[in-house]
Chain A
Amino acid sequence: MATFIRLTEQRDRRRARVDAGADPLPMYMAAGEQKQKQKGGGGDDESGDSGGGQKLAEKGEELKEEMDNLLDEIDAVLEENAEEFVKNYVQRGGQ
């Protein structure tokens, strides 16, 4: 029984790590994502309760601003005659 518990614990811990974006092999891990998740994770032991909410709100603002910038850039490169372009985009069947 004890062995069984230890095994499931290990598996759960492994799951938790995967959930946190930390794959068992670091080779392909996205450093950016990990940072983001750690910061935005909330309820961390270190940050405590006081100010945690505010930090989260700030982080939320930051993310929103990033997203707005990104969307502005999309509008800048998006094909001007979108409707016309899509209508004309007719390909012959390939393989």
Chain B
Amino acid sequence: MQKRIYGIETEYGIIFTPEGRKTLPVEKAIRFLFEKLITTEHFLNVFLENGARFYQDTGCHPEYATPECASPGQLIIYDKAGERILEDLQIYAEEKIREERIAGKLSIFKNNTDFVGNSYGCHENYLVDRDVDFYYLAEQLIPFLVTRQIYTGAGKVFQTQDGIHYCVSQRAQHIYQKISGTTTNDRSIINTRDEPHADREKYRRLHVIVGDSNMSEYTNFIKVGTCSVVLQMIEDNYINKDFTLRNPVKAIKDITYDSTCKRRLRLDNGREYSPIEIQREYCEMAQKYIEQYPVSDEHKQAVYMWQHVLDCLDTDPDKLDRQIDWVIKRRLIQSWVDKHRTSWTDPRVLMLDLQYHDIRRERSLYYLLERKGAVERLYTDEEIDAAKTEPPQDTRARMRGEFIKLARENSIQYDLDWSNIRLGNLLNVRVICNNPFETDTEKVAELVRTIQKTNLRKTSLSKLVIQS
């Protein structure tokens, strides 16, 4: 598929730290995050003006799902916009908590683990053709997904009985299956939950749940960009090499413990390759592929960055201390340890790890580096700020975003999900939009005009369904 819909769902870590005797359990703290959102939808589950969804997920995690995006770059901007939206909500929530006379600090982290072994995810969604054999696609993709952590990992300080390790990935230790249907136990690399939120006869969803949440725009872009290219190659039957791993779940853990990225893994055919070598093979195929097939400029860019990143990993990973999350964070901690003449076992090291991921920019170590120009950016603050309120213009999210604005201006009662708009005081008018590429906002405007004329707020229409 050349035209594809992309989405990322990010679950955030949240904690309230009291500064007095009164405290706030997390299930209460999280409710304050929703205080600022005006909606007629269910509490703790709302769609935003930019087309995204914000809700409370399993385990009391605030979760932001980007709107439907039409390219990897656009997706990264909307993922970042989610951080900013959450930062606004957090600032407001802290005020509200103070008004309740509870002193303390509400912290939100964009990472995937605490330090006692719990994990929360970052799920990537790629729309794929229903015609593609899903299990074939998954098998082809798994060696790529297992080894890509060497440039997509967010890094983690991991304490074990033998001491401190610095792992490449946050998520790798929490993966127990290749493919499965669950997300809370027995987490897998690829999840089979097939919710395309679109015409099921045409599309299915590829749900990748093995990835880390990224702070770096560069890392996040290369994560989605390279996966998308590999996906396209598989769909075009372009991949002619077999990298099936003998034990992918073990491999994913071996790789995360090896920050040289060079320890060899055994393939099903008995050969042994390092993660860098497997990635190089995919990357070389991609370089040829983009010469022969129609591919977007963003995808070409992703392939060039991919090669650059692999070259650096091969020679000296520290060259990526402006681009790749796990390297940026490791360098930061090492410099701090050197300055204080302490060691990685210093308990403050775990705090450095955590605070790198703080979404409150004035507290966050990642954003401190960003302000200093010490990390590479791909997008501007203006682009990210605009994405907080404006939906993507080339997907269905545009219709949803426009509708939300019009409905609020006209005080119309509504309820939404990804492919339906329900409105009216009995929510008896329903617009179905099964095509995620549809952008016809005139339809939405027309609908709102009709409602204004008939004054739906007072009279109750019989059930009306508009198929989009």
Residues of A whose CB lies within 8 Å of any CB of B are 15, 18-19, 23-25, 27-28, 30, 32-33, 66-68, 70-71, 73-74, 77-79, 82-83, 85-86, 88-95
Contact = CB atoms under 8 A, between A and B. Distances in A.
B301 A88 contact: no
A92 to B, nearest CB: 4
A25 B184 contact: no
Contacts of B119: 93-94
B368 A70 contact: yes
Contacts of A93: 58-59, 118-120, 184
Contacts of A68: 339
Contacts of B377: 30
B368 A77 contact: yes
B304 interface: yes
A74 B365 contact: yes
Nearest 7 Cβ contacts at the A-B interface: A94-B120, A92-B59, A82-B351, A95-B183, A83-B347, A30-B376, A94-B59
Interface in B117-174: 118-121, 123
Interface of B: 11, 13-15, 17, 26, 57-61, 63, 114-116, 118-121, 123, 183-184, 209, 218, 221, 297, 300-301, 304-305, 307-308, 311, 322, 332, 335-336, 339, 347-348, 350-352, 354-355, 362-363, 365, 368-369, 372-374, 376-378
Contact of A18 (B14, B301, B307, B363): B307
Given A70-B372, A86-B347, 19 more contacts: A15-B311, A18-B307, A25-B300, A32-B376, A74-B368, A82-B348, A83-B347, A85-B354, A86-B115, A86-B354, A91-B61, A91-B118, A93-B184, A94-B11, A94-B57, A94-B58, A95-B58, A95-B59, A95-B209
B120 A19 contact: no
A89 B354 contact: yes
A85 B118 contact: no
Residue with the greatest number of chain A CB neighbours at <10 A, chosen from B17, B209, B362: B17
A71 B304 contact: no
B301 A28 contact: yes
The dominant DSSP class at the A interface is: helix
- Name the residue among B26, B209, B339 with the largest chain A CB count within 10 angstroms: B339
A91 B119 CA distance: 8
B362 A77 contact: yes
B351 A79 contact: yes
A54 B75 CA distance: 46
Contact of A82 (B297, B347, B362): B347
B187 to A, nearest CB: 8
Given A88-B17, A95-B184, A23 B347 contact: no
